[in-house]
């Protein structure tokens, strides 16, 4: 097993103290949240979405779109280096997990059914994000 290291690392106790219960469950334990009942799925304000764990800039509002899934969806991250991905075969299906490249926090999943120009859908959990309005 390869042990990944990140620029921002904290002990499990430190993560529990700095994150809300939902943020911890999503970012550190790869949880998810209910569709259509989360903070940013219907957010149309202009700004930047950052990692709730470390503040890494992840997505901008001009790359967000309404996927109809009930989770905030983006067709492109700020840069390709901002996020990392890995095959996720949990829950009896094969998907692509998306993590913050700065702290390793679970953000959501990547699908190939997004709009042009990338055709990608970064389906993120609101609980893994913090929104900074312009």
Cα separation, 115 vs 125, whole angstroms: 19
| 100 catalytic per annotation | no
β-strand pairing of 121-124 with 64-65? unpaired
d(CA 123, CA 134): 22
Structure tokens at 77: 């991250």
Helix (H, G, I), strand (E, B) or coil at 130: strand
Burial (CB count within 10 angstroms: exposed 0-12, middle 13-18, buried 19+), residue 51: buried
List 51, 54, 100, 123, catalytic entry: 123
Point out the residues that are catalytic: 123
């Amino acid at each position: 097993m390869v042990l990944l290291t990140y620029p921002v690392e904290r002990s499990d106790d430190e993560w529990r103290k700095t994150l809300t219960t939902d943020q911890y469950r999503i970012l550190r334990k790869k949880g998810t949240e209910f569709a259509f009942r989360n903070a940013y799925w219907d957010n149309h304000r202009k700004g930047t979405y950052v990692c709730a764990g470390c503040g890494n800039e992840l997505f901008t509002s001009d790359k967000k779109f309404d996927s109809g899934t009930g989770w905030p969806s983006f067709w492109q991250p700020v840069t390709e280096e901002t996020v990392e991905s890995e095959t996720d075969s949990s829950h009896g299906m094969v998907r692509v997990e998306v993590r913050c490249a700065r702290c390793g926090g679970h953000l959501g999943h990547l699908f190939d059914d997004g709009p042009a120009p990338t055709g990608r859908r970064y389906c993120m959990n609101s609980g893994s994000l913090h929104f900074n309005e312009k």
